[in-house]
Chains A and B, each alone.
Chain A
Amino acid sequence: MRGPSIRFDNVGLQLGGVDILSTVSFAVGSGEIHCLIGPNGGGKTSLVRCLLGQMPHSGTIDVGWDENRTIGYVPQLLDFDKTLPVTVNDFLAMVCQKRRPAFVGMSKATRATSDAVLDRVGLIGKGKTKLGSLSGGERQRVLFAQALIPAPALLVLDEPMTSMDEVGVERFASVIRELAADGVTILWIAHNLAQVREMAHSVSCIKRTLLFSGPPSEVLAELGAEALFSSLGMANFEAMST
């Protein structure tokens, strides 16, 4: 399988008369892990929403699909009432089953697939646990798991590791590497620069516009303008520099 290549060409976005994004142009190669970095409020999530067709934008976003056009999306968080009686299996049934309502349970096929992805993200045996009882990191792994059903050609990740512990991060990184090896294109909004340096094939820095784009090593040189990354923290900057 080959994931799509993506070309952002002069992409702009205005909301309520305010420029959220302007003249953003860069390309993501097929099967590449491409990280979007930049300060909070810089427009990374908005750019991803433009790609997903959820925000009206100027300019063009060309996605060069191959046969598989499946997008896996991992949102930043799941904002819900933690006391709701929704288990991990209920959530996966809700997301993955179109007609069969979650309250009658999973079909055999969905059960097999969901068990496989829960195993992959290190949550096997957690299917009957209430979503609200999981830790923040475990919930993010559930969100990651749903993005793997069905097997995506393009995986879009919006800060997926914010609350993950070390085990979760390791598991997540290993699955990301496996997916990239399978040819899945990965567009990943990241804040951990050490991780970006270790895993990304290419990086783009967004602060309302594109500041720079290229391989992580080249981006590092540009990071002299560390003030731009005040929100990322000096620890991050130092981790990237070593």
Chain B
Amino acid sequence: MTEFYAWMRESLQNLAYDGVLPLSFQYGFVINAVFCALLIGPVLGGVGTMVVVKRMAFFSQAIGNAAMTGVAIGVLLGESYTEPYVSMFSFCILFGLILNYTKGRTAISSDTLIGVFLSISLAVGASLLLFVSARVNTHILEAVLFGSVLTVSDTDINVLLVVTIAALGVGVPLFNRFLLASLNPSLARVRGVRVRVLEYVFVLLITILTVACLKIVGAVLVEALLLIPAAAARNVIRSMKGFVFLSMAISTISCIAGVVVPMQFDLPLPSGGAIIMVAAGFFLLTMIVRMTFSRLREVEA
């Protein structure tokens, strides 16, 4: 794969030198980041629709915060501070499973419980990160929090590729069951859906996606990329087909624009922040469209 990535970078860099692509593509790390954006954009946009339907936006925020703890633990255990995937995946998966297990065994409402876990993960993550910040370059910590195109490596692309394929392999065939289980668990069970098992599968899906996207979007903002494109699509769409595909399109465009535009115009923005600002622009646009059409309908009526 490394040779393929090298070939891809060289080809695209040549196109940039020839003026076919924007000049920012002359940098290999930009091409890496764009490739990652092309992977995470459609997947997060698609999975985001399920997150919105299942009302689990805050869960991915909690996982993002847990990833900070995962990074700190990785650094403390001597893992590479640029790619601490073993500790990040291990800690976040454990965190997600415990959260879901607790959710199924307590009378506390789901959002309250997630809020408690989110706060704990933020407190522990922030404390540990400050503790380990003396040992590593603090820019690494910024990259974890807000995303950075500068640090995307071939390993990161490989991780994203594997996670994307796994997410598609799980998310597409189980899409109907995920949604039905959240709309009416009792009906889903009668229809042969194993609701409890699916809850865990969905939690794992969100967890691995969140962790894999950290390098580009950042721990603080990854939840927003799951939520905003789907919310923007929902403003103007009436069917599931439009909902999923528009959400994927908004997410993909936001990711690519968020990576390329700051580089192209030399803006001092972290990629995560830029991606979310573009997505937020789409949200505002769709809100305006929705409000305009609502008023037109009222006038016609």
Query: Is the pair B189, A102 in contact by a Cβ cutoff of 8 Å?
Result: no
Q: CA separation between A90 and B49, bound complex, in Å?
A: 14
**Most B Cβ at <10 Å: residue of A54, A73, A85:** A85
Find out whether the CB atom of A75 lies under 8 angstroms from the CB atom of B187.
yes
In the complex, chain B residues 185-203 whose Cβ is within 8 Å of any chain A Cβ? 186-187, 189-191
A224 at the interface (CB under 8 A from B): no
Contact A90 B173 (CB under 8 A): no
Interface residue? B9 (CB, 8 A): no
Contact A103 B241 (CB under 8 A): yes
CA distance A99 to B53 in the complex (A): 19
Question: Please, what's the 1-or-0 string for B44-84, where 1 marks a CB less than 8 Å from any CB in chain A?
Answer: 00000100110100000000000000000000000000000
Contacting residues of chain A (96-141) with chain B, CB-CB under 8 angstroms: 97-105, 128, 130
Question: Is A85 in contact with B176, judged by CB distance below 8 angstroms?
Answer: no
Q: How far is the CB of B223 from chain A (nearest CB, A)?
A: 18
Other-chain contact of A101, B53, B175, B184 (Cβ < 8 Å)? B175
- Please state if B190 and A52 are interface contacts (CB–CB under 8 Å): yes
0/1 string, A35-58, CB within 8 A of B gives 1: 000000000000001001110000
Q: How far is the CB of A8 from chain B (nearest CB, A)?
A: 18
Q: How far is the CB of B101 from chain A (nearest CB, A)?
A: 19
Does B191 contact A103, Cβ atoms closer than 8 Å?
no
> In whole Å, how far is A12's beta carbon from the nearest beta carbon of chain B?
21
Tell me if A167 counts as interface (CB < 8 A to partner B).
Answer: no
Say yes or no: B180 contacts A94, CB within 8 Å: yes
User: How far is it, in angstroms, between the C-alpha of A146 and the C-alpha of B176 when the chains are bound?
Assistant: 14
Chain B residue nearest in CB terms to A97: B176
Take A94-B179, A104-B241 as given contacts and tell me if A84 and B191 are in contact as well, using a CB distance cutoff of 8 Å.
Answer: no
Task: Kindly state the separation between the CA atoms of A129 and B7 in the bound complex, as whole angstroms.
Answer: 49
**A128 and B180 contact, Cβ closer than 8 Å, known pairs A52-B189, A101-B175, A102-B175:** no
Residue B238 at the chain A interface, CB threshold 8 Å = yes
Q: Is the CB of B186 within 8 A of A49?
A: yes
Quick check: is B234 within 8 A (CB to CB) of the other chain? Answer: yes
Cα A95 to Cα B245 in complex, Å, equals 20
Within 8 A of B (CB), among A19-78: 49, 52-54, 71, 73, 75, 78
Question: Given the complex, which residues of B lie within 8 Å of A89, measured CB to CB?
Answer: 239
**Which residues of A lie under 8 Å from residue B244 when comparing CB positions?**
103
Which residues, 238 to 256 on B, are CB-close (under 8 Å) to A?
238-245
Q: Are B175 and A84 in contact (CB under 8 A)?
A: no
Q: A93-B176, A102-B240 are in contact. Are A83 and B234 (CB under 8 A)?
A: yes
Question: Are B234 and A78 in contact (CB-based, < 8 A)?
Answer: no
- Bound Cα distance from A78 to B183, whole angstroms: 7
Flag whether B291 is at the interface (Cβ < 8 A). Answer: no
B184 touches A94 (CB 8 A): no
Nearest B residue to A102, CB-CB? B240
Q: Does chain B have a CB within 8 A of A79?
A: yes
A87 at the interface (CB under 8 A from B): yes
Question: Which B residues touch A73, using CB under 8 A?
Answer: 186-187, 190
A86 interface residue (CB < 8 Å to B): yes
- What are the 8 tightest A-B residue pairs by CB atom distance, in nearest-first order? A101-B175, A103-B244, A90-B240, A73-B190, A85-B243, A94-B176, A85-B237, A103-B240
